[in-house]
């Protein structure tokens, strides 16, 4: 069980580092794009939000691939199972239960889920902050359809 815990911790830390790097990049992109003056503020806001959401989804996909690689290295998935599907089900906490880790690696499933739910919460916080800051900026420049009452 200790080896499973150490593996889960290592992969989780790697994913936290990936998410931190992507978060910094996403915030820089949002700040640059969100502070531009625009004649179509609602479309602009939507484009900023979609861009950041896609960037964060790409980060989650990379993080799932890191878990899948770890599963493959230690043989945590049952023989003949679809490794990527198995990993996504664990990471997203979907929990179909149609594929479960092999007995000696069964702690990796819940650790993957714990890591995934933390990363999704983090992404939600980033999206909310980008939205808040972009709306605040649009209100500050008196963009049509945005008022000082929209400021955070």
User: Other CB atoms closer than 10 Å to residue 93's CB: what's the count?
Assistant: 14
Q: What is the pLDDT of residue 150?
A: 54
Q: Check whether 20 has a pLDDT greater than 60.
A: yes
Spatial CB neighbours of 125, under 8 Å, sequence gap ≥ 6: none
Q: Check whether 145 has a pLDDT greater than 90.
A: no
pLDDT, one tens digit per residue, over 112-127 is: 999 999 999 999 999 9
Q: Does residue 63 contact residue 22 with C-beta atoms inside 8 Å?
A: no
pLDDT, one tens digit per residue, over 72-90 is: 999 999 898 999 999 999 9
Q: What is the pLDDT of residue 70?
A: 97
pLDDT, one tens digit per residue, over 22-55 is: 999 999 998 888 677 777 888 888 999 999 999 9
Burial status of residue 125 (CB atoms within 10 A of its CB: 0-12, 13-18, 19 or more): exposed
In the structure encoding, which two tokens stand for residue 98, read together? 């149609």
Q: Supply the DSSP symbol for 103.
A: G
Q: Check whether 148 has a pLDDT greater than 80.
A: no
Q: How far is CA 55 from CA 8, 96, 103, in A?
A: 24, 27, 35
Q: What is the pLDDT of residue 152?
A: 52
Q: Supply the DSSP symbol for 102.
A: -
Q: Supply the DSSP symbol for 45.
A: H
């Amino acid at each position: 069980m200790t080896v499973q815990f150490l593996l889960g911790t290592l992969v989780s830390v790697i994913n936290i580092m990936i998410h931190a790097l992507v978060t910094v990049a996403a915030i820089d992109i949002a700040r640059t794009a969100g502070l531009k003056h625009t004649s179509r503020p609602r479309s602009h806001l939507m484009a900023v939000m979609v861009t950041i959401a896609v960037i964060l989804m790409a980060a989650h996909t990379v993080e799932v691939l890191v878990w899948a690689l770890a599963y493959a290295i230690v043989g945590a998935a049952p023989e003949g199972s679809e490794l990527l599907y198995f990993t996504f089900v664990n990471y997203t906490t979907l929990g179909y239960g149609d594929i479960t880790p092999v007995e000696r690696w069964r702690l990796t499933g819940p650790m993957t889920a714990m890591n995934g739910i933390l990363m999704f919460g983090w992404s939600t916080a980033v999206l909310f902050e980008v939205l808040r800051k972009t709306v605040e900026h649009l209100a500050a420049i008196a963009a049509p359809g945005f008022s000082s009452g929209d400021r955070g």
